[in-house]
Amino acid sequence: MAVHREWAGRLGTDAKGNRVILLNDAGARLVEATADVALSNISPPEPSPELLSLCPSGDDGANKELMLVQVTRFTCGSFAVGTTAHHQVADGLGRCSFMIAWGKAARGVAIDPIPVENIHTPDPSDNVATHTVHFSPEMVSKLKSKASTGVRRPYSSLQCVAAHLWRCITKARGLDGNTLTKFKIAVNGRPRMRNPRVPEDYAGNVVLWAQPATTVKDLLGNPLQYAVELISREVARIDDRYFRSFIDFVSSDAVEKEGLVPAETLVRCPDVFVSNLKGIPMYDLDFGTGKPFLFTRSHPPWEGYVFIMPPFCSDGSMDVQVCLFSRAMDIFKECAATRWKWLTHSYKLFLC
């Protein structure tokens, strides 16, 4: 916390009324818990409300900590580390940088100095289900080959898988053909911003959204390549100039003049939101007890969200968590199964 002081601070306002992080060293919340069972007895194969018991609750907002951690120890000797963090402080990569540094400190390794999601959790919704999908290297290769036919430069594996999911989710929802659907995918600005570059371990939000859009009938009536090209074109547009233009916007008083407020709904239909966690090195985390067997979300109750998870092994496969209303989930699985054999992972140990 002495190095990553942002997580020990509190949200507040400065003299001008701007929203800031107060570096007052008020501290984070650490909860230690024990369970009279082995980890294998309670770990479900994919995100579930059951996993919320392993994460600290920030519902009461008593001290409004920006980082809450719960360590749960099991009779088998394993332990789970659950975290709840305020998304206004940092994005996924920034949060991971703190966790990696914490692991180094636990092992007595020097921590590199750093350059100078909301705590409130809604009640789990019984109407939203989460399905974990495993794309094998062969499946990813087939999707990429199918989408890149006739183009000079192959599309990325991520964009091909994302486009495939957009189509399957849209079909499962049963939307009217004239409905406009947007595919909002998070774009990391760290590798895009230049002069000066943003360090990989920068602890803040450096993510903007690419938002390709089309009608349902065009999305489903055209080949996969149509959706991939829409995504590729919009992602390419979010470049260094775009990020710096956004920084100029939020640094001015334009935000207050526009009256922008956070969205109140957790239902994204007819749109799809994709958070790409694939490049976040959570499997490098080590508290001196070895690396985690699994990194996963606990229970994201947000309809229309897709999380591309960090891979356990670097074989080119992808694990994806899809959140949809229960009534659409069976259709989603059936739609996907008619094209590829989808596999679901089951793990004995996990880190949330």
Query: Strand locations in the chain, DSSP E?
Result: 10-13, 19-22, 29-34, 67-73, 79-85, 128-135, 180-188, 207-210, 213-215, 272-276, 305-309, 318-325
Q: Give the tokens for residue 227.
A: 């959706």
Q: Give the tokens for residue 320.
A: 């994806």
DSSP string, 152-177: SSPPPHHHHHHHHHHHHHHHHHT--T
Q: What is d(CA 210, CA 146) in angstroms, rounded to the nearest whole number?
A: 23
Q: Give the tokens for residue 38.
A: 């082995």
Give me the count of residues in the chain.
352
Q: What is d(CA 55, CA 71) in angstroms, rounded to the nearest whole number?
A: 8
Q: What is d(CA 211, CA 218) in angstroms, rounded to the nearest whole number?
A: 16
Contacts (Cβ under 8 Å, ≥6 apart) of 196: none
Which residues are the active-site residues? Answer: 87, 286
Q: At what angle do helices 137-147 and 224-237 cross, to 10 degrees?
A: 90
Contact between 269 and 216 under an 8 Å Cβ cutoff? The reply is no
Contact between 194 and 169 under an 8 Å Cβ cutoff? The reply is no
Rounded to the nearest angstrom, the gap between the alpha carbon of residue 309 and the centroid of all alpha carbons in its chain is 7
DSSP string, 26-94: ---EEEEEE-SS-GGGT--SS--GGGGGGS---SS-SS--SEEEEEEE-TTS-EEEEEEE-TTT--HHH
Q: What is d(CA 352, CA 83) in angstroms, rounded to the nearest whole number?
A: 7
